[in-house]
Structure 1
Amino acid sequence: MSLRSHRKKPIPIVFSIVGDPKATGIIRTYEDSGKNITGVNMKVDVKEQFDMVKEVLPEMETLGIIYCTEMPQAVVTGKEAAAATLESGWTPLTVSFPKRDLPQLEKIINLLSKKVDAIYIPTDPILDSPANLQTIIHISDKHKIPVIAVAEKFVEDGVLMAVHCDFYEIGRQAADPIVQVLSGVNVRKIPSQKPTIKKLSLNLKKAQDLNIKIKRQVILKTDNIID
């Protein structure tokens, strides 16, 4: 008799390294996934990111937002970024394009850099790839325009800053839904969670290269400094 014939219920799934589970269709809502799945994602609310951006770049007026339309989570977080930009008192300038236009990325960034005070890359696996990210950084650096991203690694790669989750803490946080599942709680009744611990990574060398003065109180808040 096969193992499948003994399995009367689907095995519960608890995720821990997911960018935006709702945008990618993994869950229906944070309260009820609609499926046999729950977990902790990596998404830090854009408004929370921008509250820190205000402290790093207090004179910013126009924010460029760029993403590739092939990525559902990039489209969702890009639109969230545009709304959060307005909430922050800035003017958003959004540039979205299909993957087939990537050969024009240098031209796109060159034009965008002439119109904005900073560039924000939302959760976009295409633009976050090493080659594309370096293109964005290289061109924006020429215009003395800082780039803001969503992960510590990208700050190490040359963007100015990121407010992001901590992977170790995500793993610790995921223990809670796991314990609930093992205790017999229906996985659909366990809400999916966003990270409770967020961190600020700041590239001080890039700030110096771009002639951006970082206040001491901001540096004291920084969890990871790249210099």
Structure 2
Amino acid sequence: MRRAAVVCILFVFAMMMAGCGQGKQAESAPQTSAKSDASKQVKVGITQIVEHPALDSIRKGIIDQLAAEGYKDGTSMQLEYVNAQNDMNNVATIAQKMAADHKDIIIPITTPSAQAVVNQAKDTPVVFSAVTDPVAAKIVPALDKPKANVTGTSDASPMDKQVELVHAFVPKLKNLGVIYNTGEVNASVQVDMIEKAAQAKGIKVVRAGVTNSNEVKPGAESLAGKVDAILIPVDNTVVSSFESLLKAANAAKIPVFASDSDTVKRGAVATYGIDYYKLGKQTGVMAARVLRGEKPGDIPVETLKDVQLIVNAKAAQSFGLSIPEQLKAGAQIIK
């Protein structure tokens, strides 16, 4: 009897241990599920040619909007951001690596980065940002019917209005200096637009072409005594070296005007500029649509149409300029 009782107790104990083992297995199931969810993170690559306030604002807008759309870095999104340091060799290498990494989407910021990515990523969805003229840059064949895997946003600036603005501040304007990177298609397109608008007003455009950031200051110095004002297009090389340009312009007493609001905040006199953070958010909306399944080729290229007159009062004063009365009412004046 005692032996039978002991056997019975051992049997019951064994059954209880088996039940505990099953309970532990059940408890471990959510860990497997969590790992599976993590593996479903979308892989997003962002690349930009160089860091400066305007481009950094775009990137922040993209990331903030993706988060608002439900794609948060570290949870539902695995984000890789790479800056090319304004080196075209780096631009090509980054594009090649991201294309080979099977990203769910690549978001290149600026024309050179977009050109490189589009050349490498034949199947990966691409949503570019801050490409001034994507057709001229051969990134898309048309704004309303882009490539099957490519769409994005343009930061085209109204160059006719920029020339009018410079003329309003400098009524005796006869010669307008323009500094730009001759190797950037977007910059060359803008300079052609500036020249056309200036010619209509009887103003001569004096070009100072550069190929890298080290040439920006000498380029500005070369305009001394030749021009009445300088207008900078949306040019990454020139904007990233703006402080050296401004130093040369101050020495020559040549007022500098810009094509983006961040450069006015840094010391240019004025611009009809777009809000680059808003452009980034607009790009983020488009990227989220693609991540949810829409084909990039079905989404036309978009432009941020709203422009804001921004005037740096301190910069204007430093160049001996006053703010025209007709511009004060609608301007955002930085003091």
Provide the residue aligned with 1:118 in structure 2: 229
Alpha-carbon spacing, 1:15–1:51, altered in 2? closer, same or farther (3 Å): same
| 1:203 pairs with 2:316 | no
1:162 deviates by 1.9
Provide the residue aligned with 1:86 in structure 2: 199
1:20 deviates by 3.8
Q: Deviations over 1:115-151 (max 9, x none)?
A: 111111212211111xx31121111112221111122
Provide the residue aligned with 2:145 in structure 1: 32
Alpha-carbon spacing, 1:105–1:193, altered in 2? closer, same or farther (3 Å): closer
For 1:103 and 1:13, the matched residues in 2 are separated by 32
For 2:217 and 2:285, the matched residues in 1 are separated by 45
Note the residue ranges of structure 2 that are not aligned, 5 or more in a row.
1-39, 41-101, 103-122
1:168 deviates by 4.3
Question: How many residues matched?
Answer: 215
- Higher percent of residues as helix: 2
Q: Secondary structure at the match of 1:83?
A: helix
Counterpart code for 1:152 = S
Moved more, 12-21 or 43-52: 12-21
Larger radius of gyration: 2
Q: Secondary structure at the match of 2:162?
A: helix
Q: Secondary structure at the match of 1:59?
A: coil
Contact 1:60 / 1:117 at 8 angstroms: preserved in 2? yes
TM-score (norm. length: structure 1): 0.79
Counterpart code for 2:264 = V
Note the residue ranges of structure 1 that are not aligned, 5 or more in a row.
5-9
1:58 deviates by 2.8
Q: Deviations over 1:153-193 (max 9, x none)?
A: 11111111122111344356558867986998764343312
Q: Secondary structure at the match of 1:33?
A: coil
Alpha-carbon spacing, 1:176–1:54, altered in 2? closer, same or farther (3 Å): farther
Contact 2:131 / 2:153 at 8 angstroms: preserved in 1? yes
For 1:104 and 1:58, the matched residues in 2 are separated by 30
Alignment of 1:86-105 (within 5 A): 86-99=199-212, 103=214, 105=216
For 2:170 and 2:246, the matched residues in 1 are separated by 17
For 2:209 and 2:283, the matched residues in 1 are separated by 33
Q: Deviations over 1:12-31 (max 9, x none)?
A: 54444444433443322212
TM-score (norm. length: structure 2): 0.56
Provide the residue aligned with 2:300 in structure 1: 191
For 1:156 and 1:193, the matched residues in 2 are separated by 26
For 2:214 and 2:294, the matched residues in 1 are separated by 50
* Residue 49 of structure 1, aligned match among 151, 162, 167: 162
For 1:109 and 1:212, the matched residues in 2 are separated by 20
